């Protein structure tokens, strides 16, 4: 089985060869935590959660790093006065780090709600100022950057003069870029309009500021991702992901910084997730065309006719390939809900099926399993995988109606494989059972008892509670915010 990944850098599907066999280093650009994430943001993070789960399911040991952008994210016009954090600080009358905390907590809650696994490392930009200053110094020493009026800029022309290729990811031609750019920020400070900030001088009004060899300022957004990915994954790593809109300039700049600093292209496979649209327009806070995840889940919105469980939203997202645009609509959600209910019903029905080793089954389990893995390894094709799951669903209902048979071995294999795809890889959750209040209360009591056992170092008892629940199909998961459970 060979995994193929579409690489935005080469614009081709390539056979995936990790740097270190069996291991994957993956970096995904995280959120800018100055306001609530909208459903569009969730789609991108969910796409990479599915990719992360798939890689692990395929047997890779993954180090997944997703950062938190909590400093220095300018608006598109690049004007220091329009720093998103500074604006929000004024609006909400809060300290910058209160804004950061408030929206980081919100981000984690939202992703938990959609059953996203936490990354292995979640570094923050503010926690890596020293690394960013060091990288800036290195770029100055190597002649790729220059100081100007307390700010430091990356010299794009110098980069190209040395035979490096700014624009290789976004397939932009540097001459055209120069012709089309208006220099709104740092006018007179930059040698060329395409030069981008590695370090910005802080104006007196700018509250988030740090000391540096160039005076008080704050780091550039592009540099933070280079600093954190290099620190935790090395100068060259396997996969870098993010939304399509980050290709240029953000990821283009990351490539330039990496190459200039370390004389090596920083990433082997660039992966870009496509956008979520609503009313056929990209979901975005700035245009007002957006919905918050909670509004969809509670039904408090004017767009959808009813509330939808987060796992239905997850299912809907995964019914589109991560590289396709997905237009969210009431009809799409209703259709996903119907499909999801049928899928879950099949899982239940399968548990009650009696095998029959005498009769020949019309379902070729091995062939079906191969097709599922072919879809998964073909650039993580979730819609095709789901279509194959529904072939199994059709067969399961035929079994239930005594129109089909299955051998004991195939039955066990089908149960295991189907559950693995639905719960581990797609990350779906059984809705009905999760809504069962009594069960939830009982499990909370058991979790509390297990916590007490652990506190008093009675690990025999705490392990017994965990193992016995697992034997009943209830998996306890210890996370940042305590213990949760998953019903399998
Ligand atoms: P931001 O916090 O603005 O940096 O965005 C966080 C992530 O969400 C980035 O990877 C963006 O590419 C992604 N994103 C923003 N808008 C959308 C959208 N409408 N659909 C999918 N992803 C999006
Ligand atoms: Zn980034």
Q: Find the 170 Cα to ligand 2 centroid distance in Å.
A: 15
**315 falls within a domain:** yes
Q: Which of 257, 255, 379 is nearest to 323 (CA)?
A: 379
Q: Give distance in angstroms: CA of 221 to centre of ligand 2.
A: 7
Q: Is the CB of 282 under 6 A from ligand 1?
A: yes
Q: Are residues 250 and 377 in the same domain?
A: no
Say if 387 falls within a structural domain. yes
Ligand 1 within 6 A of CB of 31: yes
Q: Is there a single domain that holds both residue 158 and residue 306?
A: no
Q: Would you say residue 289 lies in a domain?
A: no
Q: Average of pLDDT values for 190-207? A: 90
State the distance from the centre of ligand 2 to the C-alpha of 420, rounded, in angstroms: 31
Ligand 2 is a single-atom ion; what residues have CB below 5 A from it?
Answer: 29, 225
Ligand 1 centre to CA of 79 (Å) is 21
3-state secondary structure of 309: coil
Concatenating the DSSP letter of every residue in 254-308 gives HHHHHHHHHSS-SEEEEEEEPPEEETTEE-BTTTTB---HHHHHH--SSS-SS--
Binding residues for ATP: 285
Tell me if 89 sits within 8 A of 101, measured CB to CB.
Answer: no
Task: Determine contact, residues 26/64, Cβ cutoff 8 Å.
Answer: yes
Domain count, the chain: 3
* pLDDT band (50, 70, 90) for residue 207: confident
Domain match, 445 and 381 both: no
Q: Distance between CA atoms of 7 and 291, rounded to whole angstroms?
A: 30
CATH assignment at residue 373: 1.10.730
Q: What is the number of the ligand 1 atom nearest to the C-alpha of 276?
A: 20
Q: Ligand 1: which residue has its CA nearest to atom 17?
A: 40
- Boundaries of domain holding 127: 4-273
CATH number of the domain enclosing 190: 3.40.50.620
Q: Please give the annotated binding residues, written as ranges.
A: 29, 225, 250, 254, 285
**Closest by CA position to 419, among listed 319, 486, 328:** 486
Find the 30 Cα to ligand 1 centroid distance in Å.
9
Q: Looking at 394-403, 418-427, 473-482, which range is the least confident one?
A: 473-482
Instruction: Find out whether 237 and 254 touch, Cβ atoms under 8 Å.
Output: no
Ligand closest to Cα of 223 equals: 2
Together in a domain, 398 and 468: no
Q: How confident is the model over 448-462, as pLDDT tens digits?
A: 999 999 999 999 999
Give dist(CA 242, CA 230) in Å, integer. 16
- Return the pLDDT at 76: 45
* Same-domain check for residues 306 and 207: no
Q: Which of 85, 243, 282, 286 to mutate to test the pocket of ligand 1 (most atoms within 8 A of CB)?
A: 243
> pLDDT digit string (tens) for 238-284?
999 999 999 999 999 999 999 999 999 999 999 999 999 999 999 99
Q: How far does the centroid of ligand 2 lie from the alpha carbon of residue 131, in Å?
A: 15
In this structure, is residue 132 part of a structural domain?
yes
Give the H/E segment covering residue 328: strand 326-328
Q: Which numbered ligand comes closest to the C-alpha of 73? A: 1
> 230 lies in a domain?
yes
Where a domain ends, among 223, 256, 273? 273
104 and 172 inside one domain? yes
Nearest Cα residue to atom 9 of ligand 1: 243
* Contact 84 CB / ligand 1 (< 6 Å): no
- Nearest ligand for residue 224 CA: 2
Q: Could you tell me if residue 21 is inside a domain?
A: yes
Average pLDDT over residues 14-23: 98
Q: Are residues 448 and 372 in the same domain?
A: no
The 10s digit of each residue's pLDDT in 24-48 is: 999 999 999 989 999 999 999 999 9
């Amino acid at each position: 089985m060979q995994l193929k990944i579409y690489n935005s850098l080469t614009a081709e599907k390539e056979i995936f060869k990790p740097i270190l066999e069996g291991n994957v280093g993956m970096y995904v650009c995280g959120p800018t935590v100055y306001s609530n994430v909208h459903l569009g943001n969730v789609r991108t993070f969910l796409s990479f959660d599915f990719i992360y789960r798939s890689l692990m399911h395929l047997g890779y040991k993954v180090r997944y790093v997703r950062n938190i952008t909590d400093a220095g994210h300018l608006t598109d016009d690049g004007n220091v006065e329009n720093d998103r954090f500074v604006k929000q600080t004024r609006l909400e009358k809060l300290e910058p780090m209160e804004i950061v905390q408030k929206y980081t907590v919100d981000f984690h809650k939202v992703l938990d709600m959609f059953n996203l696994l936490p990354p292995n490392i979640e570094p923050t930009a503010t926690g890596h100022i020293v690394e960013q200053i060091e990288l800036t110094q290195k770029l100055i020493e190597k002649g790729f950057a220059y100081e100007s009026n307390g700010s430091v800029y990356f010299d794009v022309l110098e980069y190209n003069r040395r035979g490096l290729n700014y624009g290789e990811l976004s397939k932009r031609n540097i001459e055209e870029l120069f012709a089309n750019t208006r220099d709104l920020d740092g006018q007179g400070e930059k040698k060329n309009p395409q030069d981008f900030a590695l370090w910005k001088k802080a104006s007196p009004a700018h509250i988030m500021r740090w000391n540096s060899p160039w005076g008080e300022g704050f780091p550039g957004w592009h540099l933070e991702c280079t600093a954190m990915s290099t620190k935790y994954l090395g100068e060259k790593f396997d996969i870098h992901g993010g939304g399509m809109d980050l290709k240029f300039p953000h990821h283009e700049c990351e490539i330039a910084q990496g190459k200039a600093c370390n004389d090596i292209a920083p990433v082997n496979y660039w992966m870009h997730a496509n956008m979520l649209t609503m009313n056929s327009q990209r979901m975005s806070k700035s245009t007002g065309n957006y919905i918050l995840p909670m509004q969809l889940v509670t039904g408090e919105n004017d767009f959808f006719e009813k509330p939808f469980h987060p796992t239905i939203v997850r299912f809907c997202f995964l019914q589109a390939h991560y590289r396709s645009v997905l237009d969210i609509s009431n009809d799409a959600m209703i259709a996903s809900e119907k499909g999801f209910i049928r899928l879950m019903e099949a899982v239940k029905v399968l548990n009650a099926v009696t095998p029959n080793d005498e009769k020949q089954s019309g379902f070729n389990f091995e062939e079906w399993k191969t097709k599922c893995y072919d879809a998964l390894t073909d650039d993580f094709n979730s819609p095709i995988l789901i279509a194959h799951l529904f072939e199994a669903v059709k067969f399961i209902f035929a079994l239930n109606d005594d129109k089909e048979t299955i051998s004991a071995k195939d039955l066990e294999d089908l149960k295991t494989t189907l559950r693995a795809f639905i719960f581990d890889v797609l990350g779906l959750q059984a809705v009905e059972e999760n809504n069962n209040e009594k069960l939830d209360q009982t499990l909370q009591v058991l979790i509390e008892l297990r916590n007490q056992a652990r506190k008093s170092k009675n690990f025999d008892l705490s392990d017994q509670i965990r193992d016995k629940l697992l034997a009943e199909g209830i998996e306890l998961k210890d996370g940042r915010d305590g213990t949760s459970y998953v019903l399998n």
